[in-house]
Each structure stands twice: as structure tokens, then as C-alpha cells.
Structure 1
Amino acid sequence: MLRGVRAWRLPYGGLEPSRTYFSRLPITPSSSGQSGAEPRPVPLSYKLLDGEAARPALVFLHGLFGCKTNFNSIAKALAQQTGRRVLTVDARNHGDSPHSPDMSYEAMSQDLQDLLPKLGLVPCVLIGHSMGGKTAMLLALQRPELVERLVAVDISPVETTSSLNFPAYMAAMRAIDIPDEVSRSCARKLADKQLSSLIQDMAVRQFLLTNLVEADGRFVWRVNLDALAQHVDKLLAFPPQQESYPGPTLFLLGGNSEFVHPSHHPEIRRLFPRAQMQTVPNAGHWIHADRPQDFMAAIRGFLT
């Protein structure tokens, strides 16, 4: 997800697949329905790269502050290298997908259960990072027939207790004050300066700033911070599950990350009995940004 990291901007010359399908949807309110009812799906924004329909497509799900463009370069490269269709998706309250007051893993799973069959992408290979990894795991547990195999990137099906302080990030972003009618470069500099008082890591700040967009002469956050802040406890947790997922599963871990602890392994094995674990050396939580070539090699190896 760290688009500001130099390693993320690797040139992939000549790797464009034959066709691209792109859906950009307006950000509109959406009701979550009655309490206790099944979550109402929202129409997600996505980008679909064309490929062979005979093999399961690769579906990428981003993390808490991310969006579908975080996987642009990797999606293009893997589409060319594997010949498969590759889908990148904006979760609700992220990117170009609609805003909704319901920000739960059950709701995000329901969104995908609605979208993937409509696109003819089931069963698929689900590849989810962080929040997207938990969404992918829940979908596989709820609807295993939709998921041919699963990749959870630096996340596990338990409560997240990492050194990254997501609530503090949200508070810092919500406190940003940028004057109207300033240039984009000026707005980013002002926002970065204000964020730096609470977030010392420049790479993290640059990643968060990918959410800063201009709307009607003002700079706003396209990620729905209100919904994320209201449901952050749910997003750090994982819904209790009894059934296991029988398909092949890869837990891809960053060697420098603390998101997945050995204490998580029993629950991983219980829910995903065919799980294998692979660690990418010299990578933090954002493996696909820190070590993109190693990340893609791990995906290709798992597919074969």
C-alpha cells in the first residue's frame, strides 16, 4: 500500500494486458439496513484486467487506508505473467466506492459476494492485505465455493494488536486544516507538516496522503474517516467463526512485521487446515510495497 515508497514505483514496461475494464462509482450514502439483518451490499468500484477465463482470476483487496490503485503495478505485472484476469477493488468507504455507515467485515464480505458472481469471477483466488485479508478470510469461510484459493497478506484471523496505531492515524487525519483554493502541492505539504507532529514515519505519512483529493476547490479525505473511526474496534477484531475453509491458503508474512504472532497459529490452523506460511525477508507490513518482486514470486509459486 505504500505508494510513496521508491520500491513501489518499479517500471513494468510492456506489461499492459490486452484490455482493461474500469468502474468508477460516485460516493453516495448507503443504508446498512435494519439491525440484525443481513448487510446490504453496495456497488463497489473496481478495475478488471483481461485474461484467460478458463483459470480463476486474481482478486486483490486492499488494507485499512488503501484503495485499488495500491496494486496497479503488481496487478498489471501478474496479469501479463500469469495470463489470468486480475481484479482490484475499492472496499466500501474507500477510493471510489460508496460511503456507508456500516463498516464491518460481514458487510464487506457481502459486497464481494454480490460483485464477484456478477463479473463471472467465481471461483477466484482472493489476495487480501491487512483489512482486505480479513475480508478475504471471512468470505472464504462463509462461501468457500466462491474461493478457489486464498492469500492473507500479513494478517491473521484474530484481533490485530500491532505497533501501528491506526486510531491515532485517523485522529491525525481528521485534525488536518487546509485553506481553500490552494494548489495540490501546497495542500500536500501543509497536510504532511500537520501529520508529522503525530506520525514520525515519513513513508506512512506519504501513504496516508494518497487519500487526499480535491473536491469543489477544497481538499478532503476520500476515505470515510468517520465510518472507520466509529468501527475501528470491529476492524481490528475478527468475527468469531466455527466452520473452516478447506481450500489451499497462504499466509504471507513480512519478516520485519509484528502483525502475525506465533500465538495466532492455532487459530489459523483451526480455520484454515491447509494453510502454509511464508515469510518475506526485509519486508514490513506492506510487503507488496517493500518487496514487490518477492511478493509476486510468492503469489506465482502458490498458484502452481
Structure 2
Amino acid sequence: MLCARRWFRPPPLRRRPAWESRRVAGHAAAPVPLSYALLDGPSPWPPLVFLHGLFGSKSNFQSLAKQLVLQTQRKVLMVDARNHGNSPHSPLMTYEAMSADIQLLLQQLRLHRCVLIGHSMGGKTAMVFTLQRPEVVERLVCVDISPSETTTVTGFQSFIAAMRAVDIPRGIPRSTARRLAEEQLRPAVKDPGIRNFLLTNLVNIEDQFVWRVNLEAVSQHLHELLGFPHFQAPYTGPTLFLGGSKSAYISSDDYPEIERLFPEAEIQYVPDAGHWVHADQPQQFVAAICNFLEHPPA
């Protein structure tokens, strides 16, 4: 069988007291062991590593990953970022910290080279890791994100406030909990697609429905997550910026910074796709990735 799935869920981190969380937040913290799913392929070429966006998880790419294993024969690794999915929670939520998490995971799996594919927040994490460790990245794909501030095109702060305000009684069925949460989110999150996406974070822990994403850490570091660290040295390997034609996350204003940091970059737009390019146009997304992988380096 071509695709054998292996899952890893790390043990939860020790809960820190409030004073220790404040101290850690101001300094570089140790990387955390990330949860991941690995689909095996027979090719010896570097694996594809998927990094999801804010409020997402590794499951966002599950069906696409299966297609890519079949079409490219490469292994595909899907990763939960810290404070997301099944990965541990941490008070620190910066791109430098998430880049260190990726480095730890690749070391644990003994992966010396990879193709990084990141969407939104995951795309910025992929860029930071690539600029820090260019020798590890064979190719880079940034999905609907650029190395620029994204403050003007997001409503994340209102999403966080709406999620924090959700109040669900104990001991009710999942279907009822989801309906109640959806009703409470609706006034602040108008788009039903975004509401459904946020609801993927609703989980039952000890008979209480809660959000698995660490809203406190995300809120504390949201300004940093919407920005991008400063780098001088560029990454000269093959790079693809893959945007949605209906999205404003990659605009012509971003082109100079893309060209400065990623001089070999291609910029493509998928027709009839918004910010979630891989969900809106999955077949075109897969085709774009496969075409990019087949293109020989300059």
C-alpha cells in the first residue's frame, strides 16, 4: 500500500504558573515537540512538509496530501503548529519559536532536506525557517501570504473575541454544542465558511466543549503574527507564491519585498480562489504544486 499513515501526539507540556509564563514570553523558549501525520511515499526525494494557517491544523491538508503522495511519490508530512491541533500549548507564539519547532521535528525525523509548503501563518513560518536554514529547504511554497504585514486584510482579533465569548453548558451532545457555538459566533463571523473553519477547533475535554487552539497565546502575539521579522540575506532557491485571485493577501505592493528576499520566486494566482486556496480549488492547487516540483532549479 502506497500511503501508510503514522500519527504522533506528543505528551502535554507542564502547565506553567502565570509568573513563569510572563517570564518566558519575553525570552526565547525551548522548542516544543509538534504533533504530525506522515504519509509514506517511495521516492527518495525530499518530503513535502505542510504548515497550516492560524486556527488551522494538520487535518486541513489530509485529502490533498494523499493526492500529492500518489502524484509525486514523495513522503508528505503534515504538522500541527504550537498552540494548535494536538501540539502542546506554550505562552510564546512567534515565528522564530515556530521555526525552532520545525527544526526540532526535522531533526527528530532525521530529515535533512524538505520542501516547505505553508499557508498563511504557516507560510510565514516556512519563510522564516527557510531564511534561517536555507540549506535544509529544497523548495518553498507560500500559499496566499507574503513577507509583509497583513493587518489590513484580516479580522482575526474579532474572531478571537467571538470565540472567547462562546459559552456552552456541560454535558450536552456534540451536535448541540456545535450548533450553540455556531449561533454565538454568527454575529461577529458573518462568513459561514469561516465559522465552520473556526468550529473545527471545538473539542470535548472532560465533558466540557472548549477551543483546542490557545486563544490566549494567539491574542497576546497577534501583532507579531500579522507582521514579519526583518531579514537581510535572501533565499535563492526555487520559490512559489501561490495566491487566490479573490484574495488580497498577496498584492503588487508586496512584490518588491518578495523579490528582495526570494529573488527566484514565481508568483501565481489560482482563479476563483480566496484565501483558502487549497480548499477553494483543490485540484488546481495540487496541479500547481506538482508543476512547481517538476520545474528544475535555475
TM norm structure 1 = 0.92
Contact 1:244–1:271 (8 Å) recurs in 2: yes
Q: CA deviation at 1:291?
A: 0.2
Q: Tell me, what secondary structure is at the counterpart of 1:99? A: coil
Partner residue in 1 for 2:180:
190
1:275 maps onto 2:254 in alignment: no
1:230-245 → structure 2 map (5 Å cutoff): 230-245=220-235
Residues 1:18 and 1:289: Cα distance change in structure 2 (over 3 Å): closer
Q: Distance in 1 between matches of 2:287 and 2:39?
A: 19
The separation in 2 between residues aligned to 1:87 and 1:253, in whole angstroms, is 22
In the TM superposition, what whole-angstrom CA distance separates every residue of 1:202-251 from its partner, at most 9, and x where no partner exists?
11000000000000000000000000001100000001111111110000
Secondary structure at 1:233's aligned position in 2? helix
1:21 has 2:6 as partner: yes
Give the structure 2 partner of residue 46 of structure 1: 36
Q: State the secondary structure of the residue aligned to 1:96.
A: coil
Are the structure 2 counterparts of residues 18 and 202 from structure 1 closer, same or farther at C-alpha, using a change threshold of 3 Å? closer
- How big is each residue's C-alpha offset from its partner over 1:74-127, in whole Å with a ceiling of 9 and x where there is no partner? 011111111100000000000000000010000000001111122122210000
Q: Between Structure 1 and Structure 2, how many residues are aligned?
A: 289
Aligned counterpart, 1:70: 60
- In structure 2, the partner of 1:169 is 159
Provide runs of 4+ in structure 1 moved above 2 Å: 25-39, 161-164
- CA distance in structure 2 between the aligned counterparts of 1:201 and 1:169, rounded to whole angstroms: 11
Q: Partners of 2:76 and 2:97 in 1: how far apart?
A: 23
Superposed displacement of residue 38, structure 1: 4.1
**How far apart are 1:162 and its partner, in Å?**
4.1
Contact 2:43–2:73 (8 Å) recurs in 1: no
Which stretch of structure 1 is more off in the superposition, 258-267 or 88-97?
258-267
Q: Which structure has more RCO (C-alpha within 8 Å, separation ≥ 6)?
A: 1
Q: Does 1:295 align with 2:280?
A: no
Residue identity opposite 1:172 in structure 2: A
Contact 2:3 2:66 in 1 (8 A): no
| Structure 2 unaligned regions, length at least 5 | none
Unmatched tracts of structure 1, length 5 or more: 1-15
TM-score, normalised on structure 2? 0.93
| CA shift for structure 1 position 24 | 1.3
